Amino acid sequence: MTPEAWWKDKKVLVTGGAGFLGSHLLEALVAQGARVTAIDLLERPPRLESLLPRMDYLPWDLSGSGLEDALPGSFDLIFHLAASSFPAEAERAPLLAYRHNVLGTANILSFAARRSARKFLFPSAGALYTNTPKYLPIDEEHPIDPTQGVYAMTKRMGELLCQEFMRNQGLKCLFFRLFNAYGPGQSREFLIPSFIQQALSEGRITVWDESVRRDFNYVQDVVRALMAGAASEACGGPINLGSGRDVSVGEIARRIAAFFPAQVQFSKRETFGPRRQQCDNRRAKELLGWEPAISLEEGLKRTLESFRREAVKLQEAIPQP
């Protein structure tokens, strides 16, 4: 059976559909012919404008009650992407992070179990692995440390909730640990978009610590992995999702600067999160038949061109004196 045939008319619920990863996932699901419903906090999210005629949308706060009445029917698959996803913001507003990432996850898991969903997909975080790795590349057996930050703690609690619902409710769950996803439409708070924004607005990029190395995974590759996980027999987790290549943030800055062009300046400031990450993605290859298809060079090119087009549109929309 082709992927298109498998997805056609599948009833799919995506929480956090108006977010970066959620919007890209929705585009892929709609293109494959799935019958999609999305949930997010926004009344009418701008980034879903073109998709809304081809899907259902419910503005809803998953940390509240009443979802059972607001959303009738059943779903074959539930992708739970709704979350406070920016680690630094989770540190600034921990109660909000726990509300969305823990209470919201518990509520949607309860909904999935009561509606007899066939499978529940949950993206956790590579940030759970120790900030200073014990070895590289990092596989799923590598030690974790949820106490490194509020975001990591809430993601670990989400994993544990998935395991609990599998044991006690018989709900099939599959959770992933995502390394640094990037691509068009990502919030300016994240590393690559923040560098692009600096290059566009200031003509220079300031790098706090160029020696930090991360594993960057293009968003369309992440979407393919999530969908492969949904269609597979795999349950439980974790499954790492990353490119398998670590790159210094200094190199990322220089690549972005060369595109515009812009200058790069370096400072010595403490950064938040892991010092170095490189994903071992062999389990994803073995269980899902997945591997990244978009190189860093191609992914950055697509991302940079997207941000530049957006900047041009914004400039054209400003009334001229």
> According to the model, what pLDDT value does residue 194 have?
95
Residue 104 and residue 61: Cα distance in Å, rounded?
8
Distance CA 83, CA 99 (A): 9
Tell me if 267 sits within 8 A of 203, measured CB to CB: no
Collapse the DSSP code of 208 into the 3-class scheme (helix H, G, I; strand E, B; otherwise coil) and give the result.
Answer: coil
Residue 264's identity, in one-letter code, is V
Predicted local confidence at residue 316, as pLDDT: 54
pLDDT per residue, tens digit, the chain (321 aa), is 677 789 999 999 999 999 999 999 999 999 999 999 999 999 989 999 999 999 999 999 999 999 999 999 999 999 999 999 999 899 999 999 999 999 999 999 999 999 999 999 999 999 999 999 999 999 999 999 999 999 999 999 999 999 999 999 999 999 999 999 999 999 999 999 999 999 999 999 999 988 899 999 999 999 999 999 999 999 999 999 999 999 999 999 999 999 999 999 998 877 777 889 999 999 999 999 999 999 999 999 999 999 988 876 655 555 555
- Phi and psi for 203 in degrees, rounded to 5? 75, 15
- Across 73-167, the runs of DSSP E, i.e. the strands, are 77-80, 119-125
- Looking at residue 239, its amino acid is I
Residue 169 backbone dihedrals phi, psi, to 5 degrees: -115, -10
What is the three-class DSSP state of 284?
helix
Number of Cβ atoms within 10 Å of the Cβ of 60: 18
List domains and CATH numbers for the chain: 3-182+216-244+279-294 (3.40.50.720)
- pLDDT, residue 271, reads 74
Measured CA to CA, the distance from residue 256 to residue 199 in angstroms comes to 8
Provide the residue type at 50 as one letter: S
